[in-house]
Amino acid sequence: MIKKILILITLMLLTSSCDYKPLYSTDIISNYNISSIEINGDKNINNFIKRGLNNYKNSDSNKNYEITLNTSNSKNILAKDKTANTTDYKLSVNVEMIIIEIKNNSTDKIEKRVTFEEDLNVKNNSNNFSQANYENISKINLAEIILTKIILFLSNQNDN
């Protein structure tokens, strides 16, 4: 019994000193501020990207960005079987980003256009409900990859 208590106390002491922090925690400190976000296109993708970019607002920074995003998604047929039923198709998410950089100490504005595209090959499922759910989850996963690329792009722009 004493041995179990000693092991439990030792484990508690070892794990309590660990400074674990999630990768996408909400207390992110960035060197730039996203002053406005305008998004057009697919509603689900837009909501996901907007929530992700709202974490990167820092009013104390020297660089402000106004961002306009135009999102689109498509579903293209890749292969059909002998009876002309679709067996494979490609889901694509495309985000065109227009960034206007505004520096606090000047009135200069720099505009840049960048396009991010991610796609995924999917096999068709005979169950329409599970297929629709899988497509929605896949779109959000592709939007998450694009959000990561946008954040990396903004961070790299800030380093220059």
CATH number at residue 77: 3.30.160.150
pLDDT tens, 116-145?
999 999 888 888 888 889 889 999 999 999
| pLDDT at position 61 over 80 | no
Residue 93 gets the label, from left (phi > 0), alpha (psi -120 to 50) or beta, of beta
pLDDT of res. 29: 58
Residue 71 is part of which domain span?
28-159
- How many domains are there within the chain? 1
Letter string b/e over residues 137-150, b meaning 16 or more CB atoms within 10 A of that residue's CB: ebbeebbbebbebb
Number of neighbouring beta carbons within 10 Å of residue 77: 11
The residues pairing with 103 across neighbouring beta strands, listed in sequence order, are 63
In a domain, 155, yes or no: yes
- pTM comes to 0.76
Alpha carbon distance 157, 71 (integer Å): 22
What is the average pLDDT value for the chain, to the nearest integer? 82
pLDDT tens, 19-57?
655 555 545 556 777 888 898 998 888 888 988 888 777
59-73, 79-93, 107-121: segment of lowest average pLDDT:
59-73
In a domain, 154, yes or no: yes
In a domain, 138, yes or no: yes
| pLDDT at position 82 over 60 | yes
Mean predicted confidence (pLDDT) in 106-116: 84
In a domain, 3, yes or no: no
Tell me if residue 25 falls in helix, strand or coil: coil
In a domain, 81, yes or no: yes
pLDDT of res. 28: 53
Number of neighbouring beta carbons within 10 Å of residue 111: 10
In a domain, 80, yes or no: yes
In a domain, 11, yes or no: no
pLDDT of res. 17: 58
Give start and end residues of each alpha helix (H) in 55-159. Answer: 128-159
- Helices 43-54 and 128-159 meet at what angle, rounded to 10? 40
